[in-house]
Structures are given as structure tokens and as C-alpha cells.
Amino acid sequence: MFDSIKKIFSGEDDLPVNTSSKPDISREKSAELYEKAKTYFPGGVNSPVRAFKSVHGTPLFIQRGDGSHIWDADGNEFIDFCCSWGPLILGHNNVKVREKVVEVIQNGMSFGAPTALENELAELILKNNKYIEKIRFVSSGTEAVMSAIRLARGYTKRDKIIKFEGCYHGHSDSLLVKAGSGLVTFGETSSAGVPKAFADETIVVGLNDKTALQKAFDDFKNQVAAVIIEPVPANNGLLLQNKEYLEFLRDICTQNGALLIFDEVISGFRIGFEGAAGYYKIQPDIITYGKIIGGGMPVGAYGASAAIMGNVSPEGQVYQAGTLSGNPVAMGAGIAQLTELLRNGFYRDLHNKAEEFTQAIQRFASARNYKFKVFTIGSIFWFAFTDKDICSADDIDPASMEKFKKMHRELLNRGIYLGPSGYEVGFISSAHTKTDLEKAKRAIFESLDLVFRQ
């Protein structure tokens, strides 16, 4: 009875009317699993945002994924725009990745000794990325960033690092730090358990602010080991920076003998095979990777020039190790996935598809004068309930998240799965079909109407 708008859609000019809320999907099995999970894990999850704290209801337990679709424990089917938070650029259960994993796993899962698969993945990356000469594989994005920071400190023999409010770099101690009040501040810890002494080594400034960065370098002359940035900040909304600002970062680091670290855990292999470095044509000193690089398996990496990487043990004095680093099964998944990305036209096709999708949504919202913007780059998109430009964390109005919460619920009820927070971006994979995107658009239009008309 809630299906009053079963009107066939000929395009976004044909706008839905009289949209009404749909009944909530059944979450019985998921809710049951969640109750159990809460007895095992803090908050019932193994990573906080999964707990659905900022959206309606309890988390969905996912049973299966195939292509762009996922199914939860209650049998609800969704078109997935979370894609495991980015790694699944080919969609779920990609046949090439799966077959490679199955092939590799026949020979055992881990040796703690070198395998040819590590060479193979490294070669795939280094031959097709002119911004790094050597690489080291680790097991997560957090580990990659933590290691890159240590390398920068070891290489420059300096301790302080500069990070930006609104960028996420994983959960290592030095980086769980947020801005205090003032233009340039020592960080304040953003988690209990991070010693103040660690936070004191991290300086936090706002994005897109040259004055603050200049002041940080003036205040801490010859003390800054590195500036770390997500060149495509995509963990606190999508806070796209001007190319010119990123070039300024490059220059100010060079002038001050500090290293520039691009944290490309999310943008690497996403906005192009060479990530943001290739997109903006800016040479950072160290780049970190994660997510896509492992094809859905836990892999991270950091890379730099041979000279800088020469400082990593056992060649150099900066210690870094990992029992499961370069794990063969994970390497296999990475090899299979990255091989697909290198096919001619892969990114062109993906980006065209994403552009068409996001532009149609923006056109719809603009035609109805909704205070709503789709920020997008490549196959990343972010829905913001605003009519302003947003390029730093301060530009986001926390009150607007109430609207996202509503939208998220309406979308779930229409078979569309977005990450459960309005600060998270969405991802389009090569597995999203035209039909998927048409269906998703329609659901998004209806949800926007509901959010703005109530």
C-alpha cells in the first residue's frame, strides 16, 4: 500500500510525486545476531562505524555479496555503495579475484618467507606508478601510515608531524589527534589512551588554509618531519582541495626540509591507478596505500623513492616488520584486482558511469531547490545537505546529519545500502550496472523528496 508511486520513470525530468515512506525492512535475524555480538565484542562490532550509531536501527549482518549486490541475514537485498568502505572497486565476489585466491590457497596460506607473489604485485604497481620506486607491504592502512610516519621521522631525524583536521589516517597513536582551538595548535588526543606526549608531537591545522600551515612551519622551524594529508580527503565527507593548495603543500615541505606524505589508502587505485599523485601530478615523498590494493584482503603498503625506502630495515635503521606482511593469499587477491584495473579504459568507463549518476542526482536536487549537493571525484561520491562549498571540516554543519539519517533509512527500505554515517563517502564499482544505477537514482529521488518535504 506504500507503493503509491509505481510510476515508470523516463528520466530525471519525470519527477516522482506523492512519495511516501516505505515500511522498515525486516531486521529480525540481524538484530538477533547483533544481540549475540554485543556479548562478544565492545558495542557488538569489530570496527565502530559498523554499529549504525548515527543512522536508524541496528546494523545489518551481511551474508553474501555478488557484483554490486549484497544480501543480509534476513534475506534483504541491496545495491551496495559502501563496497567494504572502498576496497571492492570490482564489486563483490569478482570471479577473477576469487579464482586467483582459490588457486593460491591450494598451496598453503602463509610461510613467513618471501614468495614470488610479492614480487608480482610489487612489479604490477611499480611499473605503472611513476611516483614511487620501492614499496613495502603491510596488513592494513593504519599500519602503512604508522610506518610511513616512522620512516619520515627516521629519515629527517625530526619528531613533529603536521596533519589536517578532517583527514583520517587510521588509528595509530600519533594520528588520533584533533585540533585544539586556535590557528595552529598542538593536537588534542581524540581517543582515550593516547598519551598527551604523543599528541604534542602532532600539529593540527585546517584544510585549505595556507596561513595556518605557514605559521606551523614558522612556529616549529626545523622540527617538522612530515606533513601528512589525504590528497583526496574522503573520510569526513569529501573535502576536495584545490590542486594549487596541494602544490603549495609540496613547495612548503621542500622549503622546510619536511617530507610530504600522501595518505592514499582511499584514493590510491581509486581515482586512477596512480591515485591522487597521478591525478594532480604532484610528487609526494612517501605514499601510503590500503583498501583497493588487497582486492578485499587485508593489505596496506607504503612506497617512496629508493633513497627514502633505503632507510627501512633491514636495509636501514627504521624498524618495521610483519608476520603476515605480503601474505600470499592477500597478494594473489591484489594481483588479480590490480590487473583488471590496468585494462584499457577501466577508469574512463567507471568515471563516466559515476559522473552520469551523480550529475543526474544533482540535477534533480537543484531543480527542486533542495539544499543538497553531491560532491564527487572519480567513482567516489558524497551526499551533503548544504548549498555551500565544502572544503574543510568546519564547513560541515553537524545538524545536517539528521537529514542524512532520514535518507539512509528511506534508502535501506528501497534496497540501497550506503555506509551508515553522513560523514562517509559512497563508492561506485565496475560491477554497478546501468539498471542498478537507474534503480538507485529513483530511490534517491524519492528519499530526497521525503527528507525535504517532511
Ligand X SMILES: *Cc1c(COP(=O)(O)O)cnc(C)c1O
Closer residue to ligand X, CB minimum distance, 129 or 288: 288
CB of 107 to ligand X, least distance (A): 26
Chain centre to alpha carbon of residue 430: 17
Catalytic residue among 72, 173, 209, 263: 263
What are the residue ranges of helices labelled H in 162-227?
Answer: 196-199, 210-219
Instruction: Supply 345's cell numbers.
Output: 579504459
**Cα–Cα distance, 72 to 84 (Å, whole number):** 14
Q: Judged by CB, which is closer to ligand X: 23, or 193? A: 193
Whether the Cβ atoms of residue 302 and residue 289 lie closer than 8 Å to each other? yes
Of the two residues 25 and 83, which places its CB atom closer to ligand X in the complex?
83
Angle between helices 328-341 and 116-127 (to 10 degrees): 30
Decide: is 140 part of the binding site for ligand X (CB under 6 A).
Answer: yes
CB of 232 to ligand X, least distance (A): 9
194: which residues sit within 8 A by CB, 6+ positions away?
A: 173, 176, 177
Q: Which of residues 193-232 bind ligand X (CB under 6 A)?
A: 230
| Residue 166 sits in the site that holds ligand X (CB under 6 A) | no
**What single-letter DSSP state applies at residue 229?**
E
The torsion region of residue 391 among left (phi > 0), alpha (psi -120 to 50) and beta comes to alpha
Q: Which of residues 254-273 bind ligand X (CB under 6 A)?
A: 263, 265-266
Answer yes or no whether residue 141 interacts with ligand X by CB under 6 A: yes
Is residue 235 at the binding interface for ligand X, with CB under 6 A as the rule? yes
Alpha-carbon distance of 414 to 435, in angstroms, equals 15
Of the two residues 73 and 266, which places its CB atom closer to ligand X in the complex? 266
Find the catalytic residue in 34, 155, 168, 347: 168
Minimum distance, C-beta of residue 139 to ligand X, in the bound complex (Å): 8
Closest separation in Å from C-beta 202 to ligand X: 15
Other C-beta atoms closer than 10 Å to the C-beta of 359 total 13
* 168 binding ligand X? (CB under 6 A): yes
Q: Is 145 in the site for ligand X (CB under 6 A)?
A: yes
How far apart are alpha carbons 181 and 188 in whole angstroms? 10
- Sign of the dihedral through C-alpha 174, 296, 241, 343: positive
In the chain, the N- to C-terminal Cα span, in Å, equals 19
Q: Is 158 in the site for ligand X (CB under 6 A)?
A: no
- The answer to whether 137 contacts ligand X (rule: CB under 6 A) is no
Number of residues that bind ligand X (CB under 6 A): 15
Minimum CB separation from ligand X for residue 254, in Å? 23
Selected from 142, 256, 337, 392, the binder of ligand X by CB under 6 A is 142
User: What cell does 95 get?
Assistant: 570471479
Given 169, 270, 373, 406, the residue binding ligand X (CB under 6 A): 169
Q: Closer to ligand X at the Cβ: 37 or 261?
A: 261
Q: Which is nearer to ligand X, 142 or 208 (CB)?
A: 142
Stretch that binds ligand X, among 75-83, 167-175, 199-207, 279-287 (CB under 6 A): 167-175
168 part of the active site = yes
Q: Determine whether 130 is an active site residue.
A: no
Report d(CA 403, CA 380) in Å as an integer. 20
Neighbours of 256 (CB within 10 A): 18
For 408, phi and psi rounded to 5 degrees? Answer: -60, -45
Indicate which residue of 160, 291, 353, 441 is catalytic: 291
Which of 302, 295, 371 shows the shortest CA–CA distance to 333? 295
When asked if residue 165 is in the footprint of ligand X (CB under 6 A), the reply is: no
Cell of 28: 529480525
Q: Give me the least distance between CB of 288 and ligand X, in Å please.
A: 7
Q: Rounded to the nearest whole angstrom, what is the least distance from the CB of residue 147 to ligand X in the complex?
A: 12
Exposure string of 430-450, with b = 16+ CB inside 10 Å and e = fewer, is bbbeeebbebbbbbbbbbbbb
Whichever of 300 and 443 has its CB closer to ligand X, that residue is 300
DSSP 222: T
Q: Which window, 14-22, 164-172, 379-387, 441-449, contacts ligand X (CB under 6 A)? A: 164-172
Q: How far, in Å, CA of 334 to CA of 299, rounded?
A: 8
Nearer of residues 67 and 290 to ligand X, judged by Cβ: 290
Rounded to whole angstroms, how far apart are CA atoms 330 and 111? Answer: 13
Q: How far is the CB of 81 from ligand X (least distance, A)?
A: 16
Instruction: Answer yes or no: are the C-beta atoms of 45 and 59 closer than 8 Å.
Output: yes
The answer to whether residues 407 and 451 touch, using CB atoms and an 8 Å cutoff, is yes
Residue 246 Cβ vs ligand X, minimum distance, rounded to whole Å: 15
Site pattern 7..46 for ligand X (x: CB under 6 A): ----------------------------------------
Position closest to ligand X via CB: 141
Active site residues: 168, 263, 291
Q: Which residues bind ligand X (CB under 6 A)?
A: 140-142, 145, 168-170, 230, 235, 263, 265-266, 290-291, 300
